[in-house]
A and B are shown apart, each in its own frame.
Chain A
Amino acid sequence: MEQPNPIIHQPVRLKIMSALKVLPPNDAIEFVRLKAIVAATEGNLGAHITTLEEAGYVAVEKDFVGKRPRTRIALTKQGRRAFEDYVAYLRDIIDAEPKAAQ
């Protein structure tokens, strides 16, 4: 990867992906908790989640707990792979620095 993945590279989306990556596979996080972790406004977070969902990186599940609506977000396999590639890309750049300096 010569260029950073533009979908993940955006700061808020990067935080979203990082927060989801630590969850066990098939586990999801509630929208309100993700909002607190990412420290984004509701509208902003919703827009970025939609972008990630359209890219196939996250899955959004909506249901009800009693009468209260609940939105849960999980990383997809494709999203996990894309995020790992993105982190590997960052590490490659950092690791390449001493070699370039020599």
Chain B
Amino acid sequence: MSLSPQEAASTLSDVERAARRSGQAYGYRRASPHLIVWGLIWVVGYATTDLRPDYANIIWPALTLLGVALSIYVGRCAGATDSGRYRSIWRIMALVLLAFVFIGATYAIMRHVSGPQQGAFVPLLVGTIYAGMGLWLGARFVVTGLAVIVLTLGGYFFLQEHFLLWQAVVGGGALILAGLWLRTV
């Protein structure tokens, strides 16, 4: 039995389709625990900032470090190979450092940024990054990113008095739900 060029092309196309689906599912599976971790960080961070806004400068760096440590831990638990694990730890740390530099630089340029503005800026940035990643990695990232953006804007413009609480419950909750959703593939 030998194949015709048409049969070979059709078979190769089946191979590529299955590989694409598997790659997408793999990306979802790897991202899922990270979304849940950062959803929990948002819940705790925004809720405590709502209760004690004067401690925000201590709460957020501490929670960010905790989030990075948990992200590294769940990445290791996800079963990456040793070399992949090492690379992924450095990538997470480099990404967080880049995000800190970018956010700090933005606040420095904008000046006089209010608490709610700061509280909205980071989720908008995160939502944009997720939605952008989704253009390559899969539609569920796009949906997650857009949901974070829409919920953040909704809370900022329509519930400004309770914006931090809104971000804790709805923003953090959305990330946790998205993380659980990614696990269903």
Report Cα–Cα, A29/B22, bound state, in Å. Answer: 9
Q: Once the chains bind, are B22 and A19 in contact (CB under 8 Å)?
A: yes
* Among A31-39, A42-50, A51-59, the stretch in contact with B: A31-39
Report Cα–Cα, A77/B66, bound state, in Å. Answer: 38
Chain B: interface residue total (CB-CB under 8 A): 26
Chain A: interface residue total (CB-CB under 8 A): 30
Q: What 0/1 readout, one digit per residue, does chain B (2-38) give for beta carbons within 8 Å of chain A?
A: 1111001101101111110111011001000000000
Known: A18-B22, A20-B22, A36-B185. A26 touches B81 (CB 8 A): yes
Report Cα–Cα, A97/B9, bound state, in Å. Answer: 11
Nearest chain-B residue to A9 (Cβ)?
Answer: B11
Q: What 0/1 readout, one digit per residue, does chain A (1-39) give for beta carbons within 8 Å of chain B?
A: 011100001010011001111111111110001001110
B71-87 interface with A by 8 A CB criterion: 79-81, 84
* Residues in chain A near residue B9, CB distance under 8 A: 90, 94
Q: Once the chains bind, are A28 and B3 in contact (CB under 8 Å)?
A: no
Nearest chain-A residue to B28 (Cβ)?
Answer: A33
* Residues in chain A near residue B16, CB distance under 8 A: 18
Q: Once the chains bind, are A24 and B84 in contact (CB under 8 Å)?
A: yes
* Residues in chain B near residue A24, CB distance under 8 A: 80-81, 84
Q: Once the chains bind, are A33 and B12 in contact (CB under 8 Å)?
A: no
Q: Once the chains bind, are B25 and A33 in contact (CB under 8 Å)?
A: yes
Q: Once the chains bind, are B12 and A87 in contact (CB under 8 Å)?
A: yes
Nearest chain-B residue to A2 (Cβ)?
Answer: B2
Report A78 CB to chain B, min CB distance, Å: 18
Q: Once the chains bind, are B2 and A3 in contact (CB under 8 Å)?
A: yes
Which of B9, B14, B17, B21 has the most CB atoms of chain A within a 10 A radius of its CB? B21
Q: Once the chains bind, are A18 and B18 in contact (CB under 8 Å)?
A: yes
Nearest chain-B residue to A83 (Cβ)?
Answer: B15
* Residues in chain A near residue B19, CB distance under 8 A: 18-19, 21-22
* Residues in chain A near residue B110, CB distance under 8 A: none
Report Cα–Cα, A20/B3, bound state, in Å. Answer: 24
* Residues in chain B near residue A36, CB distance under 8 A: 25, 185
Report Cα–Cα, A25/B80, bound state, in Å. Answer: 9
* Residues in chain B near residue A23, CB distance under 8 A: 22, 26
Q: Once the chains bind, are B8 and A87 in contact (CB under 8 Å)?
A: no
Asked whether B1 is an interface residue with its Cβ less than 8 Å from the other chain, the reply is yes
A53-102 interface with B by 8 A CB criterion: 87, 90-91, 93-94, 96-97
| Other A-B pairs beyond A18-B16, A36-B185, 19, CB < 8 Å | A2-B2, A4-B2, A15-B14, A15-B18, A18-B19, A18-B22, A19-B19, A21-B22, A22-B23, A33-B185, A36-B25, A37-B18, A37-B25, A87-B12, A87-B15, A90-B9, A93-B4, A94-B5, A94-B12
